């Protein structure tokens, strides 16, 4: 069964360092997403990406964040200068078509900022 894969599963970094989280969405999907979940809190939408550009972003997704699809398979989230409050589980998701609603999620990348 096709699945969304994320790497790394866990990353520990120092405050101020740059972090790149990687995702390989399901191959025939067209829309890609990043969500985050701070420990004990709800899953929050960060950004959606379609046709090689950001289609929507939340207020959480400030200038410290960027996304990229550098090739035909990877979808990355970059945090330029990490802060303590960026510590969270980051989930990548993809969807085949608009409004089908069934997002397929990866298992997440846990980011710990010290």
Residues that bind another protein (CB under 8 A): 4, 31, 33, 35, 41-45, 48, 50, 55-56, 91, 93, 95, 98-103, 105-108
Three-class secondary structure assignment of the chain: CCCCEEECCEEEECCCCCEEEEEECCCCCCEEEEEEECCCCCEEEEEEEECCEEEEECCCCCCCEEEECCCCCCEEEEECCCCHHHCEEEEEEEECCCCCCCCEECCCEEEEEC
In the complex, the smallest distance separating the C-beta of residue 35 from another protein, rounded to whole angstroms, is: 8
Give the residue with the Cβ less far from another protein, 59 or 71.
Answer: 59
In the complex, the smallest distance separating the C-beta of residue 67 from another protein, rounded to whole angstroms, is: 13
* Residues β-bridged to residue 88: 111
Kindly state the tokens that stand for 103. Answer: 């997002």
In the complex, the smallest distance separating the C-beta of residue 101 from another protein, rounded to whole angstroms, is: 5
Give the residue with the Cβ less far from another protein, 3 or 18.
Answer: 3
Give the residue with the Cβ less far from another protein, 18 or 68.
Answer: 68
Give the residue with the Cβ less far from another protein, 55 or 81.
Answer: 55
In the complex, the smallest distance separating the C-beta of residue 81 from another protein, rounded to whole angstroms, is: 26
């Amino acid at each position: 069964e096709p699945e969304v894969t994320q790497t790394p599963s866990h990353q520990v970094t120092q405050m101020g360092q740059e972090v790149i989280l990687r995702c390989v969405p399901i191959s025939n999907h067209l829309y890609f997403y990043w969500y985050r979940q701070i420990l004990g809190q709800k899953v929050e939408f960060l950004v959606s990406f379609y046709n090689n550009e950001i289609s929507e972003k939340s207020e959480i997704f400030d200038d410290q964040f960027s996304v990229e699809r550098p090739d035909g398979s990877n979808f990355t989230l970059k945090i330029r200068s990490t802060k303590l409050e960026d510590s969270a589980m980051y989930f990548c998701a993809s969807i085949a078509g608009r409004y089908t609603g069934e997002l397929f999620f990866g298992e997440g990348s846990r980011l710990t900022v010290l």
